[in-house]
Amino acid sequence: MNRDYHKWFSPALQREMEVLVFGCGGARAIVFPTSLGRFYQWEDFGMLEPLRSRLEDGAIQLFCVDSVDAESWYANLRAPNERVGRHVEYDRYLLEEVVPFTAKNNPSPTLITTGASFGAFHAVNFAFRHPELVTRVLGMSGLYDVQNFAAGASSDALYFNNPSDYLANEHDQKRLGALRRIDITLAIGRDDPSCANNEYFSGILWSKEIRHALRIWDGWAHDWPYWKQMVSHYIDGHD
């Protein structure tokens, strides 16, 4: 399959960022790594194999981005407001640099965001913050309440990057209309510690009349073999 490596200096983050692109057409998919993971993680852990035929046939193109988790949510030596502030800069990097980069490489109107574990948070948060851009989102084994990662942060930035908070209080009809157009799938294991949050978050979505699929798998299901199955089942959208 086609594989391209890209690196550029990010104005938003003031450092170099790297991206791996797989495939040559079809739906654009921004892929987020797990917590503290790198842009090459999906390749290293075999996540491309379940999608090989789609990638080779031009049905989907993956844009595997890097994270700055070590500088934001997982930067325990930083003050909470600094952690959230760094994530805000990461969001700007995605919005102003990555999304235009995908569109320049591929004119498809379909934009997917996906990831597993903490990558699922990034995928869902970006999609719900920018619903006018995203067509489909697949969150696998995710947690959608990140208050504990920046406890003590006083700015609105934490609130507006914590999906379990800002979705619960979303009343803007334009935004709600855009959110209702996204094809949303959340997949998680029944024994995953974050399952309760997924069920709670699903309830918030239904309360806002945002259709979605919550797929609860047997067992823990929080590991690469399960995510390979999940991405193969759900990347094309829920049934």
pLDDT at 149 over 90: yes
Structure tokens at 177: 């209309």
pLDDT value, residue 54: 97
Asked, for residue 142, whether it belongs to a domain, the answer is: yes
Asked, for residue 13, whether it belongs to a domain, the answer is: yes
Asked, for residue 239, whether it belongs to a domain, the answer is: no
Q: Domain with 14 in it: what CATH number?
A: 3.40.50.1820
Q: Supply the mean pLDDT for the chain.
A: 97
Q: Please compute the mean of the pLDDT values over residues 4-32 and round it to a whole number.
A: 98
Per-residue model confidence as pLDDT tens digits over 19-74: 999 999 999 999 999 999 999 999 999 999 999 999 999 999 999 999 999 999 99
pLDDT at 154 over 80: no
Residue 111 burial (CB count, 10 A)? 22
* 138 touches 187 (CB < 8 A): yes
The sign of the torsion formed by the CA atoms of 216, 221, 227, 230 equals: negative
Domain that holds residue 7: 3-234
Structure tokens at 75: 């930067």
* Total domains in the fold of the chain: 1
| pTM more than 0.95 | yes
